[in-house]
Homo-oligomer: A and B are copies of this chain.
Amino acid sequence: RVFKIASIPGDGIGTEITSAAIEVLQKLAFIEGKFSFEFNHFDWSSENYVKRGWYMPEDGMDQLKKNDAIYFGAVGWPNVPDHISLWGLILPIRNSLNQYVNVRPTRILRGITPPLAKCGPKDLDWVIVRENSEGEYAGHGGTTHGHSSHAVATEVSIFTRVGIERIMRFAFETAKSRPRRKLTMVTKSNAQRHGMVLWDSVFAEVAKEYPDVQWDKMLVDAMTVRMTLQPQTLDTIVATNLHADILSDLAAALSGSIGIAPSSNLDPTRQNPSMFEPIHGSAPDIAGKGIANPVGAFWSAAEMVRWLGMEEAADALMKAIENVTEAGIRTKDLHGSSDTKAVTGAVCKELESV
């Protein structure tokens, strides 16, 4: 079987880690021998935005829809205000392709020493389920009297029962599929008394359908404390678009580096292609130097392979990645001295034997 993959390298280290991921995916397909990838490259970037005035062409979504999945690097560059670049590329894709779930697993890969003194590999193994279509990212709001001393601006978060119900159901299913069957729901309903209260009540309803999942609730601020001081008490976590954005970066840091963490933007109905991207950004400070950590990109690639139905190949890729981290072939953010190329080469080599 041939899988069509749209690749959008984007900006900065996004381009470096995307080509590394493609190299690894091609090698994986070659070795497994049962499938292959056909990559369609899209040069949608901030550099091209400055030249052309747009990130995606008018038929951009239609072009993406012709693919089985989308592989995304990173977007954002100092030459374009961040809210322009993100609303020009990544956020519209998530929205238009109904990718209402963002799954962010975190665990301590073999060989990696996490920053917490008392946290071993068994103490931190989480999946964060992020609502990916509404909430704080609805984009509503505006500014009045913008250039005056009495300027007022609003950000309007929108929560719908449909949106909450489907993310809760996905979260419960995820929790149910894992050995511990444990779900922690995050909220800030003490201060945010409208949308977050609806969030709470829909959660309570959906919970009734899953008597076999053990659940609890946390306020988002206290959640950072629990993640830091009692990581072993957590398993599956569900949170709003913004809360999960923040918590997933913290989770990545607690597992060693933002450079290793993957994410899957899923349309669970499978009517649109899903999109896979590392959670890190374009990192202007290290871009172009060939030293970006490609592990988050590889892990995202493994999640894509899994979503496309090739469980064994995904497992093989994860095993190869961890053989490499364990062997000490790591980039600087993981206290190693290897560059992107060395890590990529090592993973390709491991694929031959796993």
Contact = CB atoms under 8 A, between A and B. Distances in A.
Given A115-B228, A228-B253, A252-B225, A192 B159 contact: no
A330 interface: no
Contacts of A160: 150-153
19 contacts: A81-B189, A83-B192, A86-B191, A136-B155, A141-B194, A143-B195, A145-B161, A146-B198, A148-B161, A149-B161, A150-B161, A153-B158, A154-B194, A191-B242, A224-B247, A224-B250, A224-B253, A225-B249, A225-B250
- Chain A interface size band reads 35 or more
Contacts of A158: 152-154
A157 B81 CA distance: 21
Nearest to A148: B161
B117 A153 contact: no
A119 to B, nearest CB: 8
Contact of A225 (B143, B228, B258): B258
A91 interface: yes
Contacts of A342: none
Given A136-B192, A141-B156, A221-B248, 16 more contacts: A76-B190, A86-B190, A86-B191, A117-B117, A137-B192, A141-B193, A142-B194, A150-B161, A153-B158, A153-B159, A153-B194, A153-B197, A155-B156, A156-B157, A220-B246, A224-B224
Contacts of A310: none
A116 interface: yes
Contact of A151 (B113, B161, B257): B161
Contacts of A197: 81, 83, 143, 153
A349 to B, nearest CB: 29
**Chain A to chain B: the 6 pairs with minimum beta-carbon distance, closest first:** A82-B190, A83-B193, A141-B194, A224-B250, A221-B249, A151-B161
A249 B146 CA distance: 33
Contacts of A182: none
Nearest to A261: B225
A61 interface: no
Contact of A222 (B116, B117, B249): B249
A157 B159 contact: no
A152 B198 CA distance: 8
A221 B198 contact: no
A198 B153 contact: yes
Interface string A71-90: 00000100001110111000
A311 to B, nearest CB: 30
A254 interface: yes
Most B-side CB within 10 Å, residue of A115, A191, A220, A242: A191
Contacts of A76: 190
A162 B161 CA distance: 35
A153 B250 CA distance: 28
Contact of A191 (B83, B162, B222): B83
A196 interface: yes
A139 interface: yes
Interface in A172-218: 188-198
A250 to B, nearest CB: 4
Contacts of A254: 228
A229 interface: yes
A52 interface: no
